[in-house]
A and B are shown apart, each in its own frame.
Chain A
Amino acid sequence: MATSSLNHERFEVAIIGAGMAGLAAGIRLAIAGKKVIILERHNASGGLNSFYSIDGRKYDVGLHALTNYVPRGTKGAPLTKLLRQLRIPYDALDLSPQIQSRIAFPDCELKFTNDFQYFESQVAERFPQQIDGFKKLVHDIRELDAFALNTPQASARQRVQDYIQDPLLEDMLFCPVMYYGSATEHDMDYSQFAIMFRSLFFEGFARPFAGVRTIIKLLQDKYRSLGGIRKMKCGVQSILHNGKQASGLLLDSGDCIYADKIISTAGLLETYQLFEQPAENSVQRHIGQLSFTETITALDQSPQDFGWNDTIVFFNTRERFHYGRVEDQLVDPTSGVLCFPNNYQYGEGRSLNEGLLRVTAMANYQQWCALDEAGYLAQKDYWYDALQKVALSLLPIPKTGFSLQEHTLARDVFTPRTVRKFTGHLNGAIYGASHKVKDGRTPLDNLFLAGTDQGFLGIVGALMSGISMANLHGLSGTHSA
């Protein structure tokens, strides 16, 4: 169907963005029998969690690990709930749990697996003075109703300091939690912290054997099988409205479609810009400032052949962990994340056909954007080398004179410019705006937010966001008329 045939068509719900949240919302609405359309500007689904190909090699963006991993049939867990809501069978995700991850700081290391007891024993061993406080913090996180939509914001740093007095342990707990989902610098909302802490440590990491593609394909197929319509390369130029109600969408093509309700996963400020409301200062102030760069190296051997057995390594090489905008250089190489997609328990006889090493660090969006093309390529090379050096300093050396380059089959670097392209987020802000709108409401009665800026993060969080916003705003109370 050509895009032009959409002109003046009416839908019950139009969804902006075919990322995890948009696809999940679309599935829920299609299950309910709604006439629904998803519009995506990019040519691939998945948003932040997508993939691209160079020379026939597919590289994942996002997805180091699916957090919130629980075994099949685990009652009450977010993963179980969302699969039920999407009516996707657990086994279709083809998840394999992680081997072991660690938090590596100068002179201190905490290992963790998907068994929380192991992490607790690591904390007890390294921080015997802090273990009682740690246990109290864990209890508090377990008891918190973190998904309540009306919880007031609270400083996670302050709450954690109530229990933990050693700043080293505090920073070591914040490092993975922030890297996997904090849109705010230095500190984060306590309920966000609790959600992420649970998803990383109480539950755990897993990965589909074929990476993020498995998840995207499942969602797309499900949505299509339910009769949902999805339009790619179909950007939204503006939201049509009368100041109170949205009536439809003007597309980049010049066509317009009408919708009774609109769910936008474009981001808070990005959505506001679509209805031409000059952004209030309070919204403007919350433009995300955190963007990432990531290097990907394809290796001729499995990482384990080099003695690299970690699944994920969260690292910091400074005295205090700094999670904030990068001020005066392109990349801050002093903290970040290493990931070996090979190091999951894929089972007997199943292994990825190449070794992969990914290194993620914080980066400055404006500086990357200011480069001309030659400068951009040169800086990608420079920071590729710099980040591999950091990575190798955190890993055992296989043998004297080891050269990563000799084992490298292919490499790529993605930058804040890439993040911007895939997510459409202003500033290439990986986790969106620093202010989240938990109930998804906007100044327009029938326009709602879902996805990153609604506030549930990670892949499971994004899916849950799409589901809960579709349930709350798209399904309830619509049949009374």
Chain B
Amino acid sequence: MTEEQVQQIVIDIINEIAPDEDTSNLDPAVSLRDQMDLDSMDFLDIVMELRKQHGIEVPEADYPQLASLASCGSYLTPLFNAK
């Protein structure tokens, strides 16, 4: 799986948990929170859906790795590929 594919998985999850947010023009390098109205409770849901839908466990200490789409890609891709 490529980093782009993993980024798309994250975007799909955001569309599901925050249907009122526009995810069409996100800049991968910029933090998600700066581009959308997401708070810590929403990040908890992203982690929850990664676990439920994809069996990916993100320990609490690693939550900061999910800050931007780019960091999601580089952090999560090895986890997806290690499955």
Can you name the residue of chain B whose Cβ is closest to the Cβ of A472?
Answer: B44
Does any Cβ of A come within 8 Å of B12's Cβ?
no
Given A471-B44, A476-B44 in contact, is the A81-B39 Cβ separation under 8 Å?
yes
Mask, B17-42, CB within 8 Å of A = 1, is 11110000000000000000101011
Taking a contact as CB atoms under 8 Å apart, the answer to whether B41 and A475 are in contact is: no
Taking a contact as CB atoms under 8 Å apart, the answer to whether B48 and A475 are in contact is: yes
Does any Cβ of A come within 8 Å of B52's Cβ?
yes
Taking a contact as CB atoms under 8 Å apart, the answer to whether A76 and B37 are in contact is: yes
Taking a contact as CB atoms under 8 Å apart, the answer to whether B17 and A84 are in contact is: yes
Q: Return chain A residues, CB-CB under 8 Å to B19.
A: 89
Q: Return chain A residues, CB-CB under 8 Å to B57.
A: 479
Does any Cβ of A come within 8 Å of B54's Cβ?
no
Does any Cβ of B come within 8 Å of A254's Cβ?
no
Can you name the residue of chain A whose Cβ is closest to the Cβ of B36?
Answer: A75
Does any Cβ of B come within 8 Å of A73's Cβ?
yes
CA distance A471 to B52 in the complex (A): 16
Chain A: residues with Cβ within 8 Å of the partner, total of 20
CA distance A80 to B37 in the complex (A): 10
Taking a contact as CB atoms under 8 Å apart, the answer to whether B41 and A32 are in contact is: no
Mask, A207-227, CB within 8 Å of B = 1, is 000000000000000000000
Q: Return chain A residues, CB-CB under 8 Å to B3.
A: none
Given A477-B60, A479-B57 in contact, is the A85-B45 Cβ separation under 8 Å?
yes
Taking a contact as CB atoms under 8 Å apart, the answer to whether A84 and B60 are in contact is: no
Does any Cβ of A come within 8 Å of B59's Cβ?
yes
Shortest B28–chain A CB gap in Å is 22
Q: Return chain B residues, CB-CB under 8 Å to A479.
A: 51, 57
CA distance A24 to B10 in the complex (A): 25
Taking a contact as CB atoms under 8 Å apart, the answer to whether A467 and B41 are in contact is: yes
Mask, A72-106, CB within 8 Å of B = 1, is 01011000110011010100000000000000000
Taking a contact as CB atoms under 8 Å apart, the answer to whether B60 and A476 are in contact is: yes
CA distance A80 to B39 in the complex (A): 12
Shortest A146–chain B CB gap in Å is 15
Query: Besides the contacts A31-B48, A81-B39, what 20 more A-B pairs have beta carbons closer than 8 Å?
Result: A32-B48, A32-B52, A33-B52, A73-B20, A75-B37, A76-B37, A76-B39, A80-B37, A81-B41, A84-B18, A84-B20, A85-B41, A85-B45, A87-B17, A468-B41, A475-B44, A475-B48, A477-B60, A479-B51, A479-B57
Could you tell me which A residues sit within 8 Å of B by CB distance?
31-33, 73, 75-76, 80-81, 84-85, 87, 89, 467-468, 471, 475-477, 479-480
